[in-house]
Amino acid sequence: MGVLTALLILALLVVVHEAGHFLAATSQGIRVSSFNVGFGPALLKRQRGPVLYALRLIPLGGYVAFPDDDPDSTIDPEDPDLLKNRPLRQRALVIAAGVLANLLFAWAVLVGQGVIVGIPDGFDATGGVLVTAVQPDNAAARAGLEPGDKLLAINGESLGGGTSAVKKLVEAVKSSPSQELQVELQRHEQSLNLGMVPADLGGNGRIGAQLQPAGVEHFSRPSNPLQIIKQANKDFSAIWSRTIEGFTALATRFSETAAQVSGPVKIIEMGAQLADQGGASLFLFAALISINLAVLNALPLPLLDGGQFLLLLIEGLRGRPLPERLQMAFMQSGLVLLLGLSAVLIVKDTSQLSLVRQLMGN
């Protein structure tokens, strides 16, 4: 059930992104030929007026197609309602609308969390540190840690409870790269002891697990709509900041952070873990992925919205578009890069999931 929920959330985020492009175009009277979720052959399709709506085989995104891109189109190339014939600012709005739609949706999800779940109102720590997710092929996974484990002590020393317990564990891990740590934990009323060797990441230890204080988080009904909006703004700002920090680290310290990049298989697995927890976790997962999708698409890379925006920027500075052959070369290189990266990440994630199942079965 958790996997299905994660898949539905990812599909919804793709629809939201492409709907941003679609609505920005149609609201300005720009011709659109198709609205697609996925790539490749169509599994389901329906023609409504001039627009074809299609669900396609490969679930790695989606796209809105315009008659400008169809060499067999019977529409006059000089038609003022073609995207390419519209002013620069209108085309820029169409391109930027997908990113804006994902950001707006993330904020709306966080508002929905306040309405449905409530506003965070305290936390009762029960002692220990809860493992909420484990990254495959990292120290935590190799040691046999599982989501739901409660870590109680490290090297025979009690961790205590609350945020101080998490801090104590993190400091012990960071100060022990390549050194074995003995961890005492509780799993389904069973006490276990595991040996864990943090990886050496630039002189700091890392185990590849998401942690939070063990306990019960309480939520209260908001007293007024302003309280909901204030909390949504706070959560949005926190997720946005961490997302930007993550992408910046990937760009500036690629060799150190590349191993942490996850593809669609891993994202679905983590989403399933959070979906099984229910409550606020599901809302935060949807907002987190939506903001990540927005930032990713804003990067100035071929085939992404940021790459198309870069071409528009160059056109604005030059006063005319780049030669068509250069634009085609730019986009084709992006297609090869995107398909290659997707294939590598899917293979990487799938092999890591198989490894984790073997570890958990031993």
User: Which tokens in the block code for residue 287?
Assistant: 């907002």
CB atoms inside a 10 Å sphere around CB 45? 13
Nearest to 131 by CA among 140, 122, 142: 140
Instruction: Please give the Cα distance from 148 to 362 (Å, whole number).
Output: 18
Among residues 18, 146, 184, 269, the one annotated as catalytic is 18
Residues across the chain: 362
Residue with tokens 């959330």: 9
User: Which tokens in the block code for residue 1?
Assistant: 């059930």
Instruction: Please give the Cα distance from 237 to 299 (Å, whole number).
Output: 19
Indicate if 217 belongs to the active site: no
Residue 284 phi, psi (nearest 5)? -65, -35
Got the DSSP string for 219-278? Answer: EE--SSHHHHHHHHHHHHHHHHHHHHHHHHHHHHSHHHHGGG---HHHHHHHHHHHHHH-
Instruction: Please give the Cα distance from 337 to 256 (Å, whole number).
Output: 21
Q: Which residues are catalytic?
A: 18
